[in-house]
Amino acid sequence: MSGNAITQETITHLIQQALQARRHSYAPYSDFQVGAALLAADGTVYTGVNVENASYPAGVCAEKTALSKAVSEGQRQFTAIAVAGGHRQEDSTALRDYCPPCGVCRQFLSEFCAASFTVITARSVTDYRTYTLADLLPCSFEKRQLDRTSGAEV
């Protein structure tokens, strides 16, 4: 569990953005609301939420929404993402648990994010964990493995 050098202020800001975005989650089937805030290398933050569908597999995760928004606007380099999702604690405004990115999202992030990219999973602004993408997705499948001219080394 280690992140690269992003400031405490940046972490706090990203968690706030993720919690704020979570309010727009569309999760009528699971009631599992997730918000994400993705920091691009130029300092722009892109938020995303999970968007469910009556045909369950058609739904999309918050992280995927945020990254798709950013890439569709020309961004290709990213520093960190904060994810806040799930149910609230009964006696608190904090979330019950940390919500790490699912396996598909880890792979989706790895297309554009370096091994040192920081992933923050937050229950509240003050209660969070940080990881690198390499912590969460060791031995990822990468574009170099699709190269026809050289053997893939793992």
Number of residues forming the site for Zn ion (CB under 5 A):
3
State how far the alpha carbon of 100 is from the alpha carbons of 50, 84, 85, 106, 132, in Å.
13, 8, 9, 9, 12
Q: Binding to Zn ion by residue 61, rule CB under 5 A?
A: yes
Q: Binding to Zn ion by residue 105, rule CB under 5 A?
A: yes
Nearer to Zn ion, 39 or 61 (CB): 61
Angle at 46 between CA 19 and CA 124, to 5 degrees: 20
Nearer to Zn ion, 102 or 115 (CB): 102
Q: Within positions 1 to 60, which residues make up the interface with Zn ion, using CB under 5 A?
A: none
- The residue from 102, 127, 141, 152 that contacts Zn ion (CB under 5 A) is 102
| Cβ(35)–Cβ(25) below 8 Å | yes
Q: Which two tokens stand for residue 134?
A: 């390499």
Give the residues lining the site for Zn ion (CB under 5 A): 61, 102, 105
